[in-house]
Structure 1
Amino acid sequence: MSKEGEFTHTLEFKVPFLNSKQATIACKSLNPDPILKPNELEVSYVNENEVLIIKFTGSSDRVIRVAANNVIENLKTVIECFEVFD
């Protein structure tokens, strides 16, 4: 494992949506969740038109895997809401 605060691992998701409105809503919905261990992980959310870009930078692949699984579950909920309410 790397020294505390040293981010040597990255993962990036690019999630396409039907339109930029959905990508913006997903970005705003996911972004407020605080990082529990900011010395081990950083997550950024950016939407570019209809694509949501989620970038994980962390101290280990395990830290990123756990965070990515959590974000995927939250993203699934956002998409299910679009199916029901949009």
Structure 2
Amino acid sequence: SDLTFERLGGTRAIYQCIGDELLLSVNGENYPLPLSDLEAVKQLTDFIEFDSSLLNSTTPSLDFIETFTTLVNEGIWFS
């Protein structure tokens, strides 16, 4: 079943494209990710909440999954 992930209030999440890499910045902490994760990263930066099914449909990289797991473990995103 789908989970809805919500971003902790006050969290700043932005991204930049630098060459062939994405830099996801969450509260000033930087996470380099492959450019192929752009659609997945946009779920984190452009929306306060999103469904896990939407994230799965972007076929995120292992790097993205590990980064997102870290952010969930830190309580920045929660379901």
Q: TM-score interval w.r.t. the shorter chain?
A: 0.3 to 0.5
Q: TM-score, normalised by structure 2?
A: 0.39
Which structure dedicates a bigger proportion of its chain to strand? 2
Q: TM-score, normalised by structure 1?
A: 0.37
Q: Tell me which structure has the larger Cα radius of gyration.
A: 1
